[in-house]
Amino acid sequence: MTQEDLVLTDHAGPVATLTIHRPDKMNALNRAVLEALAAAVDALGSRGGTRCAILTGAGKAFVAGADIAGMRDMGAVEASAFAALGHRTFDAIEALPFPVIAAVNGFALGGGCELALACDFIYASERAKLGQPEVGLGIIPGFGGTQRLPRRVGLAMARELIYTGKLIGAEEALRVGLVNAVFPPDALMAAAQETAAQIAAKGPTAVAVAKRVTAEGLDRPLAGANALEVERFAACFDSGEPREGMTAFLEKRPPAFERG
């Protein structure tokens, strides 16, 4: 398969959809898939005009995990390189200047759960199963799970999920804050597309700034994080978006933000 076959990209106006496409292996992540995803993310970031993206998996799984057959005979050097590739790829998703919604349509385990965690938020099918089962294989999460999961669900819950390796269903994932919403399987993509369209209609610079500020302020003391907000709030006024957005509000019409 070519890189384009492993990760499919579809554009519908300002909304892009990336689909991990290795359904015969439940979209398991090997080096080729990670490299294809990295290339697709890079192309998406360079293209311009995209205001929101949706990430999903082909077939019955989102991503069932990393390719265990490919990892079994790794030594520490190979394992380090593989984990570093996963981190670079997932960091690139986080660094995109627009939100990415994970549409988890089935299994999101191990590396698949970590991939979803690299997105801004997660919508899940009622059939979804999520978890970090790596300890059952004698390893720990290697693509950011030990760091992103505590930031999403809290330290104690993340430790329980990682230490036990248990899988949880969509409703439990919603209860603990891992996913934002749960939908019937045939309604998942429509829900993600509707939310993506709502985001795409907002000021693209403002959304990009909001994404950066919420990430950068997370680990700062509150006073410093609030100071960052003041700085970036003021910087928004250097773009033309506030004038258009506020004029449209006063004129009772939808704003016409320029496409980035």
Could you identify the residue written with the tokens 């999460």? 141
> What residues are annotated to the active site?
114, 134
Q: Is residue 41, in this structure, part of any structural domain at all?
A: yes
Is residue 101 domain-shared with residue 140, that is, in the same domain?
yes
- For the chain (length 260 residues), average pLDDT per consecutive 10? 86 97 96 97 94 97 93 95 97 98 98 98 98 97 98 98 98 98 98 98 96 95 97 93 95 84
Domain count, the chain: 2
**Does the residue 15 lie in any domain?**
yes
Q: How many whole angstroms separate alpha carbon 60 and alpha carbon 26? A: 7
At 3 the pLDDT is: 74
Same domain, 117 and 239: no
Instruction: Give this prediction's pTM.
Output: 0.95
> Cα separation of 164 and 152, whole Å?
18
Last residue of a domain, one of 182, 200, 218: 200
Residue 258 lies in a domain: no
Q: Burial letters for 228-248: b for 16+ Cβ neighbours within 10 Å, e otherwise?
A: ebeebeeeeeebebeeebeee
217 plus 119 within the same structural domain: no
Same domain for 240 and 186: no
Q: Domain residues for 228?
A: 204-250
Tokens of 165: 């390796």
Final residue of a structural domain among 158, 176, 200: 200
Helix (H) or strand (E) holding 21: none
- Whether residue 24 sits in one domain with residue 39: yes
CATH number at residue 242: 1.10.12
Check: CB of residue 44 under 8 Å from CB of residue 96: yes
**Does any domain span residue 122?**
yes
CATH of residue 88: 3.90.226.10
